[in-house]
Structure 1
Amino acid sequence: MSPLSLDAEKLYAARLHATRARPYLATALFALHVVPSRLVPTMGVDRYWRCYVNPAFVAATALEELAAVWVHEVSHLLRDHHGRGDRLGLDTPGDRLRVNIAADCEINDDAFGDGLPTPEGAVHPDRLNLPAGQLMEEYLPQFRLGPRTQEHAWLDCGSGADGLGRPWDLGPGGANALSEHERDAVRFRVAEGIRGAPGHAPKGWQRWADEAFHPPQPWRRLLGAAVRTAASGAGSGDDYTYGRPARRAAALPGVVLPSLRRRPPRVCVVIDTSGSVSDGELGSAILEVAAITQAVGGRRDLVTVVPCDAAAHLAVPLCRGEGIALLGGGGTDLRAGFARALRASPRPDVVVVLTDGQTPWPERRPACRTVVGLFPRANKPAWDEADPDYVPDAPPDWARVVTIG
């Protein structure tokens, strides 16, 4: 065989070996389109799911090691290392090499073994005195290019690993490029396979699959959208005025009908100030009040804040609220906060509640729309010294719930 020709049979046999060793990655492995290229040092991928392969590398590498490289390269694409590299704003070749090394550390700490040997020269966190189990973004600040990384200066997994274009890339207009929807479909199928067989994939892949099904939400944008939706619903901010006759008045001669006028919505923010809410979360609540104000057009005079623990405290208009005192620190009963908010005159069109959720809720739907911003409690189980088996009630169905942070 000519040294310039690709041993496709060996390469595809290695891919089959990789699917047997990592069956949950089979969809992604077979989605890659092979492009022979003498420009790429070993194997590399681009963001369009092409795999560039140097024929000389294939000829010189054992089949089992080739299978490990297949798994390594497709892992870059599944974990969106090119997109994450773009968001870091690092554009020099040296910076992108650091991104590639950090991405390899994220992958290689659990990629090999169980039928896949570690490829020669593979980057591993241990070799850089770094902890295992972290993400690319966590590894990046922990090392710089220098003596420790000198042996990895040759590393090049392609633009699919760091986002920086390569001379051999075919680009978006080249043959066999996967569209964005096709790439997302591949990721979804892989995540589905991992979640369908728990325990078969390493923890890093299980974490990735969970995030693929439940991606982090832009909570501040969601909170603002929820407030705007609630404020713009029928009945919110509606009032009648005789300053302008209704258009239907022409059908009733001698009768003056008021017209419906749209006024800016009023928002009351009830902030949970109980002892279970940390100072950091109270500071975050103040930032959310500012975001809520922006969601209603910046009208600070239409936003009121009610601190509440087991009792509701003084309602503070935001236009005079530069020194809002978030009083509290005791138990939690936000029903008092709802009652105080609904007694206000004029009555609010929307009530926004910022809480950790460890509170009883009103039994009946309030006479206005409600948005609940929940501080997460994944690592802080609810506890009540009077009732060790206490489990807080979930927010009611009539509230729009957004997780904060």
Structure 2
Amino acid sequence: MSTYVQEGTPGTGALDTGRPGYAPDPALDPAPAPDPDPAPAPALDLDLDLGKLFAARLQAARARPYLATALFALHTVASRSVPTMAVDRHWRCYVSPGFVDRTPVEDLAGVWVHEVSHLLRDHHGRSDRVARQRGLTGPGDRLRMNIAADCEINDDAFGDGLAKPEGAVDPQSIGLSDGELMEDYLYQFRLGPRTHHLSWLDCGSGADGLEREWDLGPDGAHGLSAQEQDAVRFRVAQGMKARPGDTPEGWRRWAEQAFHPPQPWRELLGAALRAATSGSGAGEDYSYGRPSRRSAGLPGIVLPSLRRRPPHVCVVIDTSGSVSDTELGSALLEVAAISRAVGGRRDLIRVLSCDAAARVAHPLCRAEGIELVGGGGTDLRTGFAAALRTHPRPDVIVALTDGQTPWPGSRPPCRTVVGLFDRQYGSASWDENDPDYVPDTPPDWARVVTIG
């Protein structure tokens, strides 16, 4: 019969601390010998006060209700490696327990909004692109990106029920103006006396794209996929669009871009052209050159097959005075791209210059050899009319213009693609000699693609 001795039973040398009134017998339970060289007692580490942290998040959501979806999408990770709070590109929020312990709830609410703003505005992706374009690889460069990203957020992030955290960086604190983007701020300052007090700043890889040693990485738990991140951004943008009066100007600008993100214009133009040239009714005809396979079901009868003749394209290039030489060069590049979109058949493309009057339509031999004539006012109505008079008649008209023109009053009897030169930079000062001039928007019947 086996004997079972429970740990802590008298006589086994272990204290039965769970039995009331028990006192050890010195003969049976001698006290352990003292350690001749006792180690110092370890310092007690603070535990993360989740109650206080989540109360601050709730206060942030009440102050900025349009950010609530993003705030509650963040997964919290306690970390003693971060100075305050930081985020990674996978939407994890790393929090220092000591920072939470010494920071008021009102300031923590502002930090919540600040950190989630880095992720919503894709500062990690934008920093990576800037780093590649400008060769910014050092830790100092990444610190500048973090500071510039903070300036973009903090210029209008606080107030209206949201306290500004102590030490928050804003553009005025380093001598810059409000209302600009991270990429713009990077050009305007260098690390020096005005920024030496910010050397501690670390908002994580979610702010500057550079992974830290404490990041859980793409394979860590509770990260959001790229699709989930986009869904959160879209939901937040919807909330901002629903309450435009409560949203600061910087966030309204971001929401517009979230609904209408920049597109690869060359791919869009090629896709629009291919859709136009392959659409129903664009050059379809019947031919007996290759009998229809349905003839096999009708002995003695030969049926024609439906053949598609190659589409003819006429490119109308705006050569008015409001179009810059750079834009004309871009138009010639697009002519070469259009040639590739129709299978390299240059004989199918004609190019026509147009300012206030249409010029001669030239067959395409080489895009570099096209002579673009003009320099006066703009009236693309004459260009459309001249394009429709060419022989053979075009199946598709592509108009490359700055949009400062009257448009035909009715839909042309063929498909139309309009390539608009982007007027955010450079030639935006052109006004057709009239300061009150407002160009007409392209008509609804045209497929419009903005050329960057």
Which bin holds the TM-score, normalised by the shorter protein? 0.7 to 0.9
The residue aligned with 1:192 is 238
The residue aligned with 1:285 is 331
Give deviations 1:257-278, integer Å, cap 9, x for gaps.
6655555433210112334444
Written as runs of structure 1 = structure 2, the 5 A alignment for 1:59-138 is: 59-88=101-130, 89=132, 90-138=136-184
Report the RMSD for the aligned CA atoms in angstroms. 3.0
* Counterpart AA for 2:182: M
Written as runs of structure 1 = structure 2, the 5 A alignment for 1:23-62 is: 23-62=65-104
> 194-203 or 294-303: which moved more?
294-303
Written as runs of structure 1 = structure 2, the 5 A alignment for 1:3-402 is: 3-88=45-130, 89=132, 90-236=136-282, 238=284, 244-247=290-293, 259-320=305-366, 322-375=368-421, 394-402=441-449
Q: CA 1:17–1:347 in 2, change beyond 3 Å: closer, same or farther?
A: same
Shift in Å, 1:245: 4.8
The answer to whether the 8 A contact 2:283-2:309 is kept is yes
* Counterpart AA for 2:447: R
Shift in Å, 1:36: 0.8
The answer to whether the 8 A contact 2:327-2:421 is kept is yes
Shift in Å, 1:373: 1.7
Size of the aligned set, in residue pairs, is 403
SS of match in other structure, 2:358: coil
* Counterpart AA for 1:53: V
CA distance in 2, matches of 1:21, 1:254: 81
The answer to whether the 8 A contact 2:332-2:367 is kept is no
The answer to whether the 8 A contact 2:322-2:430 is kept is no
CA distance in 1, matches of 2:154, 2:367: 52
Shift in Å, 1:159: 1.3
Q: CA 1:251–1:333 in 2, change beyond 3 Å: closer, same or farther?
A: farther
SS of match in other structure, 2:317: strand
The answer to whether the 8 A contact 2:336-2:367 is kept is no
CA distance in 1, matches of 2:293, 2:105: 81
Shift in Å, 1:44: 0.6
The answer to whether the 8 A contact 1:91-1:164 is kept is no
SS of match in other structure, 2:448: strand
Shift in Å, 1:69: 0.9
CA distance in 1, matches of 2:394, 2:313: 5
> 243-252 or 128-137: which moved more?
243-252
> 353-362 or 12-21: which moved more?
353-362
Give deviations 1:186-210, integer Å, cap 9, x for gaps.
2122212222222312211111111
Q: CA 1:17–1:253 in 2, change beyond 3 Å: closer, same or farther?
A: closer
* Counterpart AA for 2:392: P
CA distance in 1, matches of 2:388, 2:300: 38
Q: Which entry has the higher C-alpha Rg, 1 or 2? A: 2
Question: Unaligned stretches of 5+ in structure 1?
Answer: none
CA distance in 2, matches of 1:390, 1:164: 47
CA distance in 2, matches of 1:116, 1:396: 45
Give TM-score, length-normalised by structure 1. Answer: 0.87
Shift in Å, 1:35: 1.0
The residue aligned with 2:28 is none
CA distance in 1, matches of 2:440, 2:155: 40
Give deviations 1:234-288, integer Å, cap 9, x for gaps.
4435566665555456677777766555554332101123344444443432332
Q: CA 1:155–1:390 in 2, change beyond 3 Å: closer, same or farther?
A: closer
Shift in Å, 1:25: 1.6
> 236-245 or 67-76: which moved more?
236-245
CA distance in 1, matches of 2:91, 2:419: 39
Shift in Å, 1:38: 1.0
SS of match in other structure, 1:371: strand
> 284-293 or 243-252: which moved more?
243-252
Give deviations 1:296-326, integer Å, cap 9, x for gaps.
2344343221112332111122215534333
Shift in Å, 1:398: 3.2
Give deviations 1:34-57, integer Å, cap 9, x for gaps.
111111221111122211101011
SS of match in other structure, 1:294: helix
Q: CA 1:363–1:69 in 2, change beyond 3 Å: closer, same or farther?
A: closer
CA distance in 2, matches of 1:265, 1:84: 41
> 47-56 or 167-176: which moved more?
167-176
The residue aligned with 2:13 is none
Shift in Å, 1:105: 1.3
Shift in Å, 1:389: 9.5
The residue aligned with 2:18 is none
Relative contact order, CA 8 A, sep 6+: which one is greater?
1
Q: CA 1:320–1:279 in 2, change beyond 3 Å: closer, same or farther?
A: closer
The answer to whether the 8 A contact 1:104-1:124 is kept is yes
